[in-house]
Chain A
Amino acid sequence: MKHLLTTLIAALLLTTGAFAQTSIRGKVSDEHGPLVGVNVFVVGTLDGGITDTLGRFSFKTGKSGEQTVRAILMGYEDFNITADLSKLGELDIRLREKAASIDEVVVTASTFSMGKSYQFKKLDALDVVMSGNSCGDVVAALQVLPGTQKVGEDGKLYVRGGESEECQTFINGMHVLVPYSTNVEGQNQRGRFSPFLFKGMSFSLGGYSGEYGQALSSVLPMETTDVASGDKLGVSASLVDWNVGGTKAFDRSSLSFNLDYIDMGLYNAVLPDRCTWTRPYHKLGGEGQYKLDISSNTTLKTYAGYDLTRVGQRLDDRSLAMTEHNAYGNVTLNTRFGDGYTFFTGAAYSAMVSDVDDALTAGDHYHNFRNEVHLKAELRKTLSGALKLSAGVEDYLRGSEKRYGTVGYDLQYNLFAAHFDANIRITRGLFLNLSSREEYLNRSREWLVMPRATLSYVPNDRFQASLMAGRYSQTAEDDFLAAAKGLRQGLADHAILSLQYSTYKTMVRLEPYYKRYSRLPLLRDGVYTSDGYGYSRGFDLFVEDASLLENLTLTGSYSYNDSERLYRDYAAARTPEYASRHNFRLTAKYAVGKFILGLADSYASGRVYAAGKTPYYNSLDANVTWLAHPKVIVYASLNNVLGRTNVYRIQPDGTQVGATRDRFFYLGIFISLKNNKAYDISNF
Chain B
Amino acid sequence: MTSRIFNLILLAVALTVATPCVSNAQDAQMGQLIGQSMAKVDASDPATFLTCISELKRIDAMYPEAAAPKYYAALQSLNYSVLNPHAEATEGLLADAATLIAALEKCKDADASNLHTLKGFLYMVRIVQDPAQNGRRYYLDVMANYEKALKINPDNELARDLQQKFFDGMSQATQN
Contact = CB atoms under 8 A, between A and B. Distances in A.
A296 interface: yes
A195 interface: no
Interface stretch (A118-126, A411-419, A438-446): A118-126
B62 interface: yes
Contact of B54 (A50, A229, A550): A50
A451 interface: no
B148 A116 contact: no
For the complex, would chain B's binding face be called helix, strand, loop or mixed by DSSP majority? helix
Contacts of B135: 679
B151 A229 contact: yes
Interface string B49-82: 0110011011101100000000000000000000
A677 interface: yes
Nearest to A70: B61
B137 A124 contact: yes
A41 B54 contact: yes
B58 A46 contact: yes
B174 A678 contact: yes
Contacts of B98: 118-119
A50 B170 CA distance: 37
B57 A230 contact: no
B14 interface: no
Given A119-B95, A678-B139, A48 B175 contact: no
A296 B96 contact: no
Contacts of B119: 118
B132 interface: yes
Given A39-B54, A630-B175, 5 more contacts: A39-B57, A46-B36, A46-B58, A118-B97, A679-B139
B2 interface: no
Contacts of A39: 54, 57-58
7 closest cross-chain pairs (CB), A and B: A229-B147, A118-B98, A39-B54, A630-B174, A41-B58, A591-B132, A551-B132
B58 A679 contact: no
A338 interface: no
A229 B141 contact: no
Nearest to A682: B140
A260 to B, nearest CB: 21
Given A39-B58, A118-B123, A676-B167, A627 B133 contact: no
A116 B141 contact: yes
B94 to A, nearest CB: 8
B153 to A, nearest CB: 13
Given A41-B61, A118-B101, A118-B122, A629 B175 contact: yes
Most buried by B among A41, A72, A678: A678
Interface in A629-654: 629-630
B132 A48 contact: no
A120 B97 CA distance: 14
Given A72-B57, A116-B137, A296 B132 contact: no
B10 interface: no
Interface string A241-260: 00000000001000000000
B6 interface: no
Contacts of B95: 74-75, 119
B105 to A, nearest CB: 10
A679 B136 contact: yes
Nearest to B144: A229
A678 B55 contact: no
17 contacts: A39-B57, A43-B58, A43-B61, A46-B36, A46-B58, A48-B54, A74-B96, A116-B138, A120-B126, A124-B137, A230-B143, A230-B144, A551-B133, A553-B133, A630-B174, A677-B140, A678-B139
Nearest to B57: A39
Given A50-B50, A679-B139, A296 B58 contact: no
A485 interface: no
Contacts of B147: 229-230
Contacts of B132: 550-551, 591
A551 B136 CA distance: 12
A553 B130 CA distance: 13
Nearest to B137: A124
B112 interface: yes
B7 interface: no
Interface residues of A, number: 39
A676 B96 contact: no
Contacts of A677: 139-140, 143
Interface in A662-684: 676-680
A556 B57 CA distance: 43
B37 interface: yes
Contacts of B154: none
A97 to B, nearest CB: 14
A629 B171 CA distance: 8
Nearest to A50: B54
A137 to B, nearest CB: 20
B19 interface: no
Contacts of B148: 229
B58 A45 contact: yes
Contact of B55 (A43, A46, A553, A596): A46
B89 interface: yes
A678 B132 CA distance: 14
A37 interface: yes
A45 B58 CA distance: 7
Contacts of A119: 95, 98
B22 interface: no
B56 to A, nearest CB: 9
A116 B94 CA distance: 15
Interface string A1-42: 000000000000000000000000000000000000101010
Interface in A400-454: none
Contacts of B133: 546, 551, 553, 591
Contacts of B97: 118
Contacts of B112: 296
Interface string A51-81: 0000000000000000000101011000000
A460 to B, nearest CB: 13
A594 B176 CA distance: 9
Contact of B33 (A46, A116, A118, A251): A46
A678 B101 contact: no
Nearest to B101: A118
A127 interface: yes
Nearest to A628: B174
A44 interface: yes
A596 to B, nearest CB: 8
A155 B136 CA distance: 29
Nearest to B125: A118
